[in-house]
Amino acid sequence: MKRFLLGLLILMFGLAVGGVGTWLYVSKKPSAISPQSSAVKKVLFYRHPMNPQVTSPTPQKDEMGMDYIAVYEEEKTTQKERKILFYRAPMNPQQTSPTPMKDEMGMDYVPVYDEEAAEKEVIGTVKITPEKIQKIGVKTEEAKIRTLKRIIRTVGRIEPVENKVYNINTKIAGWVEKLYVNRTDLMVHPDEPLLEIYSPDLVATQQEYLLAMKNLEKVKDSPYPDVRKSAESLVHAARQRLKYWDISDEQIRKLEEDGTIARTMTIYAPAHGGVTEKMVVQGQKIEAGEPLFRIIDHSVVWVYGEVYEYEIPYIKAGQDALLSPSYSTSETYRGRIEHVYSHLGSIRYVPESGTEARTAKIRFELPNPEHKLKLGMYMNIQLAVDAAANAVTVPDSAVIDTGTRQVIFVEKGDGRFEPRDVKVGALADGYYHIISGVRAGEKVVTSANFLIDSESSFRAAISGMDPVRSQHFGVNKEATGSGTAGRETSNGVKGH
């Protein structure tokens, strides 16, 4: 009994000591639920639930009836200090200012912070899901460095070389005594006789020359120098008159040796060629300077071609070309541009564009020893020119031409496509030379880019609105993929 009472007493004493210790510990530590120990949060302002940039000093509701969210002091202190780069107009993000200001409607410019500028995408950038990319058939191709070769095709016409056309006439009047070439299209050779002319003036001059020669022979031993000089002058004058009438030295020498006056004068062919025109018949009286024959040397011919005005920058003298007769494309000639004329010629229709353009004349020189190329014949001309050397190129289907500018969509990864204004150069082999706007190695959209452009234009237009209004249009980061006029966005509102 005593032992039981002793144990009970010890147990009660331990409980008492433990309770006192617990009371002392609790009294020393602040209570977690004590009103005095709880920190009171201070509300700094209230922000728009859908657009954190729109704030209010007092609680209110947005256009959709949602409460503005309170921003407390401790939330602000925990945020990293952000640096303001500039301020943009609330209605037009393209208008910026380095200092705070208001727009024409009295609305404050919105600050743009450094991290926002780093993450900001180009206006009009579109993000499309992989499913939509496959559905609308988006294809891309890498921009590469190429040398673009362009084939310029035109038609040429064979004409004679200008300095190988000969007009035959005489410097004296007379009658055609004998006609050796009595029809056209005959081939003649140099020094071949063409016709003989009887001229009374020529006969009289020959007589004067012979008399002057005899007179000089009589007075050559005269002691009077003036007499000898006068006789020599008469001989010289008669000889010169014969030469002015195209009497050759050989004919004059023969006249001196034989002393026989030639009744007629023979006209010879000056070069090898064909008689293309004959304007005289036997027995006809002719006057001095009257054309008698036209002879053209066909051993070398010129080919005149015409290129359009926009092709002139690629044309220069010395370029090689392939020429073939219109009747046989397998028979080819290699020619070289001999001359590019300095003036523009006629206006021609351009089949590629359906418009008209002026042309420039170019000239080739071709050897024609066998006279296979005929005057007036047409020739097909092909010129392979360098449209652009070592240039950044993209397929022509990648370029969207609005009439005032050219746009290309560049793939940025993760389904994002960025529009770029580019400056294009030559078009050849199905590729455009990109002067600026795209670098080699970047992937550009070559298929379905018009659908992406439609979506991009819609988003760019909406991004210029008030951010609250943009939410009502349902613009999000993922395109619907249709991109056509009258399509529906994610919330069912039709876009333009």
Q: Per-residue pLDDT for 27 more than 70?
A: no
Q: Are 195 and 178 in contact (CB under 8 A)?
A: yes
Percent of the chain past pLDDT 90, that is, above it, reads 23
Q: Alpha helix (H) ranges present in 35-162?
A: 73-78, 114-119, 130-136
pLDDT band at 469 (very low <50, low <70, confident <90, very high): very low
pLDDT tens-digit map of 236-275: 888 888 888 888 888 888 888 888 888 888 899 999 999 9
* Residue matched to tokens 């995408």: 121
pLDDT digits (tens, 9 = 90+) for 395-416: 988 898 877 888 888 988 888 8
Tell me which residue of 163, 157, 166, 186 sits closest to 300, measured CA to CA: 163
Lowest average pLDDT, out of 104-118, 244-258, 462-476, goes to 462-476
In sequence order, what are the residues at sequence separation of 6 or more whose Cβ sits closer than 8 angstroms to the Cβ of residue 212? 231, 234, 235, 237, 238
Rounded to 5 degrees, φ, ψ at 34 are -70, 135
Is the CB of residue 150 less than 8 Å from the CB of residue 397?
Answer: no
First-to-last C-alpha distance (Å) of the chain: 101
- Alpha-carbon distance of 465 to 130, in angstroms, equals 29
Distance CA 371, CA 300 (A): 9
CA–CA distance, 252 with 239 (Å, rounded to integer): 8
Query: What pLDDT score was predicted for residue 155?
Result: 92
CA distance 213 to 242: 14
Contact yes or no for 337/317 (Cβ under 8 A)? yes
DSSP characters for 94-129? T-EESS--B-TTSPBPEEEEHHHHHHPPPTT-EE--
Q: Is the pLDDT of residue 492 over 70?
A: no
- Give one word for 448, left, alpha or beta, with left for phi > 0 and alpha for psi -120 to 50: left
Task: Give residue-wise pLDDT tens across range 130-180.
Answer: 888 788 788 888 998 988 888 889 999 999 999 999 999 988 899 999 999
Side chain identity at residue 339, one-letter code: H
* 3-class DSSP assignment, residue 198: strand
Residue 4, pLDDT score: 52
**Stretch 182-202: mean pLDDT:** 92
CATH 2.40.30.170-classified regions of the chain: 150-161+298-386
Q: Which amino acid is at 120?
A: K
pLDDT the model gives residue 471: 39
Rounded to 5 degrees, φ, ψ at 98 are -75, -15
d(CA 133, CA 447): 11
- Given a contact cutoff of 8 angstroms between Cβ atoms, the answer to whether 258 and 188 are in contact is no
Give residue 394's region: left, alpha or beta (phi > 0; psi -120 to 50).
beta
Q: Of 56, 81, 276, 49, give the one whose Cα is nearest residue 166.
A: 276
* Edge-first strand listing for the sheet containing 264-268: 264-268, 193-198, 174-179, 285-286
Instruction: Enumerate the CATH 2.40.420.20 domain ranges in the chain, comma separated.
Output: 126-148+390-472
Side chain identity at 350, as an amino acid letter? V
pLDDT score, position 353: 64
Amino acid at 71: V
- Residue 117, pLDDT above cutoff 90: no
Strand pairing category for 43-47 and 285-286: unpaired
Parallel/antiparallel/unpaired status of strands 416-428 and 431-436: antiparallel
Q: What mean pLDDT is predicted for residues 450-466?
A: 55
Both tokens assigned to 229 = 């000089």
Instruction: Tell me the CATH number for domain 126-148+390-472.
Output: 2.40.420.20
For CA atoms 99, 100, 101, 107, the dihedral sign is positive
CATH fit for domain 150-161+298-386, picks 2.40.30.170, 2.30.30.90, 3.30.420.40, 1.10.1040.20: 2.40.30.170
Q: Are 150 and 387 in contact (CB under 8 A)?
A: yes
What tokens were used for 4?
A: 């039981």
If one compares 333 and 24, the residue with the highest pLDDT of the two is 333
Buried b vs exposed e over 350-366: b needs ≥16 C-beta within 10 Å? eeeeeeeeebbbbbbeb
Find the helix packing angle between 225-244 and 200-219, rounded to 10°: 160
Residue with tokens 């001095």: 288
Q: Which residue is listed with tokens 């008469």? A: 234
CA 366 to chain centre: 31
Confidence at residue 2, expressed as pLDDT on a 0 to 100 scale = 52
Q: Which residues pair with 312 in a beta bridge?
A: none
Answer yes or no: are the C-beta atoms of 110 and 93 closer than 8 Å.
no
Q: Please, what is the Cα angle at 468 between 472 and 104, to 5 degrees? A: 125
Which of 25-29, 195-199, 372-376, 419-423 bottoms out in mean pLDDT, i.e. has the lowest? 25-29
Element (H, E) at 187: strand 187-188
Tokens of 446: 């070559």
